[in-house]
Structure 1
Amino acid sequence: MIAERYQLLERIGAGAMGVVWKAEDQRLDRVVALKELILPHTPGAPDAAGLVAEASARAMREGRIAAKLTHPSAITVFDVVTDNDRPVLVMEYLPSTSLAEVLARRGRLGAEEVAAIGAQIAAALAAAHESGIVHRDVKPANVLMSDDGVAKLSDFGISRAAGDGTLTATGVVAGTPAYFAPEVARGEDADSRSDVFSLGATMYHAVEGAPPFGVGDNQIALLYRVATGEFPPPEHAGPLHGLLTRMLDADPAARPEMAAVAAELALITEAKTVQLAPAAVPEGGRSRLRLILAVCVVVLLIAGGVVAVVLMNRGGETPEVPPVAQSTPQPAPPPPPPAPETSASTPPPSSAPPASSSAPPDPAEALRTAVSDYYALLPGNLETAYGLLSDRMKQARAPSFGSYAAFWGQMSAVQVSDISVTGNNTVSATVVYTRSGGGTERERHTYTLVPSGGKWLIDSQQ
């Protein structure tokens, strides 16, 4: 029993920072996770007892700070208690598998799956940074994944509390440096920009199958590689390539803010692409079709009647009737292309539809125009452009206007070209983004559009 309240049920994990237990909160009748922190053990060091006491106090302080963060993509810290003078974190229990275990089993993941995981983790980190909380130890082992696709980040504040994720006073590395930011590897303090790098390194590992700087038993050599900031460019990142490159920039000032990362990942992520039914035929098109069919029926009836009269007259030896070809009315030729209206223009025959409605708009051109008009609004007219996204697109890519604005706030210009219709209400286009800080990115996307209120809305993007 821990703190006369938590009954230990089973040990579910252990690592450099502590042992994790599944436990029952007997006061609130709920299952929780307890993390018993391992404090630095430095026998023979000057004031070893003082170091342990300081680490314990820091653990309590950092744990209570982490408990202030509540986010659906972060493991919640409920409380911090002590057991035999050792701090114990009481946390949300999530039946899950860590991303590290998934990668050990599968090797690497697809870019779309990684984007979906990263979007959730980035959202949690953005909320933490807004509250002044820095994680300091983002890595695959701290990303927990449930069977239904939910990803949550664990161990908020624990790395700082237990002294992990930094160089110790003796130069020994506590924990793995594979996901360190270069400035941290050089001994500088971690901040929110370091979290951006560590999340980028985690996502890089997920799509490439290994961390950016590799792994190895010689942690000092690994630290040296990390400190240089040089790594092989990603080969399997697909739509994540540009974002990962910016997140892993050796210069902390050049990295995007975590809120912008979350917004861009939300735009990249698509839960499931649905093949939509073709757009309904406009009412005007149906009317024109019915009119054409009616004219054809009338022509056939007249032709049949003329043939019958000819046959009857021949049977009664009456003078020959002129050939049918001369007496049978022909279908009216299609109306000419609409001409500019003038006061002297002759109105069309009453049997033909008005020239202005005889040619329905080209649906392919309407789709191309919709995509072109959308990008023509960006990045200056965000509110109007946001209104050209369907509710489904907003929910999948930009659930709030704030996240949408955060993404486009990084851009100074955008150009779209080579727009082509590729299928049922689908359009492909090349988009060139110019970033406010300099540099451009060229991407090819496929869009699905849906009709709504007399205009086309973008419903998905790949």
Structure 2
Amino acid sequence: MEEIRRLADRFDLIEPVGGGSMGTVWRARDDNLERTVAVKELLLPHGQGEQKADEAKNRALREARIAARLVHPHAITVFGVIDEQDRPWIIMEYLPSISLADKLREGPMEVDDVIRLAIQLCSALAAAHRAGIVHRDIKPGNVLLGEDDTVKITDFGISRAMGDVQLTATGEISGTPAFLAPEVARGEDATSASDVFSLGATLYTALEGGSPYGTAENPIALLYRASSGEITPPVKSDILTPLLTRLLDVRPDSRPTMTETERELRALAAGEPTTLIAEEPPPKARKGMLIGVLAGFLVLAAVAAAVVVFLARGEDPPPDAAPPPASQSQAVTPPPSSPEPQPPTSSAAPPSSSPPPATSSSAPPPAQTPGQALAAYYTLIPGNLQAGFATLSDNFKRTRNQSFERYSGYWKEYRSVSVSNVSESGNTVTATLTYVLASGGTKTGRETFELVQQDGRYLIDSQRAG
């Protein structure tokens, strides 16, 4: 049996309970306070010189200083740091637990259980963001599940206070590729918005059983996928789907804040309608908030005047439907005529307008009729192609041999789509669609859709001209 080591003549290291690239976590005994604690032994770089070792120590000290700012029932508390045996040791709260990563080895979780877990995580992360702390490595391995169903986020080891000088080497990306926000994977600075994406990726994994980026043989391949922001649409997220797609929005300013996310999760848990209210937006979004609000009122006024026009900004239209024949064209090259073309990518604003910035990724209200479902489908384009693709039935995708890559590639050629003159007959919906191309031309035509109900929501099952 390994001999117990003693630190600072106070902490007895009993057994290792976890570890990773940064070091080993020990269950330990604090003799002074007569309590069990967790002690994180941080590894220093070997063979890279004294300067690298000193930089690592400085990072550890900064880690402890930042993490100690946060005291929250759903975050592991940092008590202090000591320097012994030529390396730093972080003294933390001990929680008898397993990680979410270990839990998921048994299989994916149910939606209701993920919602309960996510509420606790969000409450801690929202408090961290208010304190100016960005976690930077939210993933299942850093989510601890206690024996009494308590959930706590841990390891702010690569987090940083916004505004602090970064001590990591130039070009070094901290975080796990499978859960990185696209902008961080591309080398941009981590923010609270990138934490939101990583939370979304963690919840996605809990529900779907794998990362939204899929699997890859090496971290570099995953990093490449992450940098593109292309994810596999969720299929098991049920009532969490609208929120999950907003958390995973490729555009940081279009993601909700942690506070907004927590509010919506609590509404879902209570069975209440969920409406994402713009409160405490990320720093980059705050500058444009007033403009976005005014644009929202203008859009509402336009809807009232049009009466029968459903503004559709795009929940990816049926990927295999070709645009209608051009009735107006401004020297525009017709879209591809492959057997399974995908409808245009864009916002539901009228052809001459661009999508309102404040609502570009907002989910539409629950659809009550097939016609409303079709209009809602187009209201997500181009900001929510993942949600649009998820609105297509499996039969639609199979018969058209439609992949998400083809679907998103098609929609890049369009700027917006508007829906009008909608008529219904059972689950058959016919509507006039006006497509605005990225090059500025327009195409208008009548299209007919068949919708089917699945798990309480309408899915587009087929599409044809006329």
Q: TM (normalized to structure 2)?
A: 0.56
In the superposition, relative to structure 1, how do residues 156 and 172 fare at CA in structure 2: closer, same or farther (>3 Å)?
Answer: closer
Q: Which residue of 2 aligns with 1:67?
A: 68
Q: Which residue of 1 aligns with 2:44?
A: 39
Q: Give, in whole Å, the separation in 2 of the partners of 1:83 and 1:167.
A: 21
Q: Give, in whole Å, the separation in 2 of the partners of 1:260 and 1:379.
A: 6
Please state how far the C-alpha of 1:167 moved relative to its aligned partner: 13
Q: Give, in whole Å, the separation in 2 of the partners of 1:151 and 1:14.
A: 19
Q: Give, in whole Å, the separation in 2 of the partners of 1:220 and 1:168.
A: 19
Please state how far the C-alpha of 1:269 moved relative to its aligned partner: 2.0
In the superposition, relative to structure 1, how do residues 73 and 237 fare at CA in structure 2: closer, same or farther (>3 Å)?
Answer: same
Q: Which residue of 2 aligns with 1:443?
A: 366
Equivalent pair of 1:167/1:174 in contact (CA under 8 Å):
no
Q: Which residue of 1 aligns with 2:256?
A: 256
Listed as ranges, the matches of 1:364-403 within 5 Å are none
**1:146 is aligned to 2:146:** yes
1:374-424 CA-partner distances (Å, limit 9, x unpaired): 99xx999xxxxxxxxxxxxxxxxxxxxxxxxxxxx9x989xxxxxxxxxxx
Q: Which runs of 5+ in 2 are unaligned?
A: 1-5, 278-292, 301-355, 369-466
Structure 1: which amino acid aligns with 2:228? Answer: T
1:414-451 CA-partner distances (Å, limit 9, x unpaired): xxxxxxxxxxxxxxxxxxxx995244423389xxxxxx
Listed as ranges, the matches of 1:167-316 within 5 Å are 176-270=176-270
In the superposition, relative to structure 1, how do residues 262 and 235 fare at CA in structure 2: closer, same or farther (>3 Å)?
Answer: same
Equivalent pair of 1:139/1:199 in contact (CA under 8 Å):
yes
Please state how far the C-alpha of 1:26 moved relative to its aligned partner: 0.5
Q: Give, in whole Å, the separation in 2 of the partners of 1:134 and 1:443.
A: 33
Q: Give, in whole Å, the separation in 2 of the partners of 1:205 and 1:68.
A: 29
Q: Which residue of 2 aligns with 1:9?
A: 14
1:45-89 CA-partner distances (Å, limit 9, x unpaired): 5xx311210121121122122112100110111111112121111
Q: Which runs of 5+ in 1 are unaligned?
A: 274-370, 381-408, 414-433, 446-462
Q: Which residue of 2 aligns with 1:29?
A: 34
Aligned length: 284
Equivalent pair of 2:116/2:269 in contact (CA under 8 Å):
yes
Listed as ranges, the matches of 1:399-410 within 5 Å are none
More helix by share: 1
Q: Give, in whole Å, the separation in 1 of the partners of 2:365 and 2:266.
A: 19
In the superposition, relative to structure 1, how do residues 379 and 88 fare at CA in structure 2: closer, same or farther (>3 Å)?
Answer: closer
SS at match of 2:60: helix
Q: Give, in whole Å, the separation in 1 of the partners of 2:99 and 2:63.
A: 23
How large is the Cα RMSD of the aligned pairs? Answer: 3.1
Q: Which residue of 2 aligns with 1:110?
A: 110
Q: Which has the larger radius of gyration?
A: 1
Structure 2: which amino acid aligns with 1:228? Answer: S
Equivalent pair of 1:79/1:89 in contact (CA under 8 Å):
yes
Give aligned-pair identity as a percent. 50
Q: Give, in whole Å, the separation in 2 of the partners of 1:15 and 1:157.
A: 11
Q: Which residue of 1 aligns with 2:91?
A: 90
Structure 1: which amino acid aligns with 2:254? Answer: A
Equivalent pair of 2:55/2:167 in contact (CA under 8 Å):
no
Equivalent pair of 1:246/1:256 in contact (CA under 8 Å):
yes
SS at match of 1:13: strand
Equivalent pair of 1:108/1:209 in contact (CA under 8 Å):
yes
Q: Give, in whole Å, the separation in 2 of the partners of 1:172 and 1:61.
A: 17
SS at match of 1:230: coil
